[in-house]
A = this chain, B = another copy of it.
Amino acid sequence: MTVQQTRNAVVLLSGGLDSSTVLAIANAQGFACYCLSLDYHQRHGAELVAADRIAKALGAKDHKTVQLDLSIFGGSALTDTQIAVPEHETIGIPVTYVPARNTIMLSLALAWAEVLEAHDIFIGVNALDYSGYPDCRGEYVKAFQQMANLATKAAVEGQPIVVHAPLIDMTKAQIIQQGQALGVDYSLTVSCYQADQTGAACGMCDSCRFRKAGFAQAQLPDPTCYQTALRQS
């Protein structure tokens, strides 16, 4: 299917299942996609390698990875190796929450969008099958959009910014079904918070558990490469 690409969009691409699906959706909507990844010194750096191959596989117009060491602030199991990634369900917002990460990523997307004269930003947040992070909710995305429309030269000059969160109300199974319909190869993606250097998943962290359950509910084979048969037992 060839879609006429007339408008530029910045797509936040982590390298995981959700953001890869969002890229496919933005493509299908006819956007020329400029993918943005953030190397924040996350322990699962393998997701950045995944982001690169997904951007290529899905024909992104460009892909930039911004270097920004969030470990200088600490406070998250994803940037502080002294804090363990939970391997079972926890109460409240888990320690894998990275302070203000989505706000930082959306801000960077906004910067690039301004330079590209793009008025559309895509983010793969999802408020159903997720870990309860505050910056994954629809009201947060809406508030970011309102702020963005007061922040930028383009918006002030009458070109409003739209922040698209097409997965916001979807279950993980629905996301997978949608992505598969759009030709996403999920074996290329890495969701695990403690993926090894090859991208192989632990199968036990929050992110792995949501992903596994999604494939099961979608009644589709799970193409994820797991670290060892032992950890999976």
Seen from chain A, the residues whose Cβ lies within 8 Å of a Cβ on chain B are 64, 66-70, 72-75, 93, 97-104, 106-108, 110-112, 114-115, 134-135, 137, 139-140, 143-144, 146-148, 150-153, 155-156
Known: A75-B114, A99-B110, A144-B147. 14 other contacts (CB 8 A): A66-B68, A67-B67, A67-B69, A75-B115, A93-B153, A99-B152, A100-B107, A101-B111, A103-B110, A103-B111, A103-B147, A134-B153, A135-B150, A147-B147
**Contact at A97–B153, with CB atoms within 8 Å?**
yes
A143–B151 Cα distance when bound, in Å, is 9
Contact B143 A155 (CB under 8 A): no
- By a CB distance below 8 angstroms, the chain B residues around A111 are 70, 73, 98-101, 103-104
Within 8 Å by CB of A115, from B64, B99, B146, lies B99
Which of B107, B134, B137 makes the CB contact (< 8 A) with A104? B107
A99 to B155, CA, bound (A): 12
Point out the residues of chain B lying under 8 angstroms from A112, CB to CB.
73, 99
Neighbouring B residues of A146 by C-beta, 8 Å: 143, 146-147
B143 adjacent to A147 (CB under 8 Å): yes
Instruction: Name the prevailing secondary structure of the A interface residues.
Output: helix
What separation, in Å, do the CA atoms of A102 and B104 have in the docked complex?
11
Give the residue name and chain of the B residue nearest to A98 (CB): B111
**Which 3 pairs across A and B sit closest by C-beta, in order of nearness?**
A75-B115, A99-B114, A100-B111
Beta-carbon contact of B140 and A147 below 8 Å: yes
CB distance from A222 to the nearest CB of B (A): 31
Assess the B115–A134 pair: CB atoms within 8 A. no
A227 to B: closest C-beta gap in Å: 29
Measured CB to CB, the closest approach of chain B to A218, in angstroms, equals 30
A72 near B66 with CB under 8 A, answer: yes
Chain A to chain B contacts (Cβ below 8 Å), 24 pairs: A68-B68, A75-B114, A75-B115, A93-B153, A93-B156, A97-B153, A98-B111, A99-B111, A99-B114, A99-B152, A99-B153, A100-B152, A103-B110, A103-B111, A103-B148, A106-B107, A134-B151, A134-B152, A134-B153, A135-B152, A137-B150, A140-B150, A140-B151, A146-B146
